[in-house]
Amino acid sequence: MSTIEERVKKIIVEQLGVKEEEVKPEASFENDLGADSLDIVELVMALEEEFETEIPDEEAEKIRTVEAAIDYVKNHAND
Amino acid sequence: MTDLMNLNGQVALVTGASRGIGKAIAQQLVARGVKVIGTATTENGAAAISDYLGEHGEGLALNVTDETSIASVLKHIDDTYGQLDILVNNAGITRDNLLMRMKDDEWDSVMDTNLKSVYRLCKGVMRGMMKRRNGRIINISSVVGTTGNPGQTNYCAAKAGLAGFTKSLAQEIASRGITVNCVAPGFIDTDMTKALTDDQKQAIFSNIPAARLGQPDEIAAAVVFLASPGAAYITGETIHVNGGMAMI
């Protein structure tokens, strides 16, 4: 079983079509990984599915970096 | 050569499919090899749809103003067919009255059934279409949404609202291979226009260069075109099908 970190990174790679080495913890989806607002919505949806959780809008708004995504899942996922 | 009108094997949801324009749309899609789920407000209506669709789909009861009802129909489609390629928002009602006489419930029910329903259904199908990077949403509006019509402030406002909704959503999701368009019928030979008085009809005919009512199949043909692969580059658009009564 892969770690939460690996699973989140895999989703980011798939959703944003970026290389694995670009997915650094501090990388911003918008500024570093070229995501637009719809990409981020899709990314959040994919995280919700992978981790069987629902991410409220006000929380989703804060998920703007790789690290923020990993932290959110670590704190909330029904894993 | 790729057949740009090929819809074989696709799955479509058509609301308000028990009669009139919705029925014609369902039948034209079936003729192109599409599995069609047609909805009606009553179980009887749903059974009638199942009857004419036969093995090419099924009729379901759906209340487009009820989120739970929508969720259960979409879940059924997902469980049974595993995909939804085409959504045709056709269900609609009229509650005509001059504004001075209009009741709140006449305004609200038309807004809810004709406009908010489209918001609900589009939202419901969005995730699947986004994931598959493919989808066609076709909203049936009306010529009067553009021209206005006395006695129909509620209906015209809802139909004009559809145009703005369509353009906005089209911009949001064009990059995901999903198109959103309207087909705007003029006066079509259905139960809805049968309710018009002879005087109303006479006045309308004098404004239609084609000098006749349109047939439901002539609306369905435009819907089939927008659903087809050949229309992939058309989005946020309204196709007017009205015998020339309004050239917009």
| pLDDT tens-digit map of B202-241 | 888 899 999 899 999 999 999 999 999 999 999 999 999 9
Mutate to test the interface with B, among A15, A37, A40, A42 (most CBs of B within 10 A): A42
CB atoms within 10 A of CB B238: 19
Check whether A78 has a pLDDT greater than 70: no
A79 belongs to the catalytic site: no
Burial B92-125 (b: 16+ CB within 10 A, else e): bbbbbeeeeebeeebbeebbbbbbebbebbbebb
CA–CA dist B222, B143 (Å, integer) = 14
Under DSSP, is residue A32 helix (H, G, I), strand (E, B) or coil?
coil
Q: Contact, B173 vs A38, CB < 8 A? A: yes
pTM of the model: 0.93
Residues of B with active-site annotation: 155
| pLDDT tens-digit map of B79-89 | 999 999 999 99
| pLDDT tens-digit map of B124-180 | 999 999 999 999 999 999 999 999 999 999 999 999 999 999 999 999 999 999 999
Residue B57 bridge partners (DSSP): B36
Q: Contact, B113 vs B93, CB < 8 A? A: yes
Query: What structural domains does chain A harbor?
Result: 4-76 (1.10.1200.10)
C-alpha distances in Å from residue B147, one per residue of A43, B16, B142, B246: 42, 24, 9, 8
**Nearest chain B alpha carbon to A44:** B127
Q: Contact, B2 vs B228, CB < 8 A? A: no
Report CA torsion sign: B41, B47, B50, B51.
Answer: negative
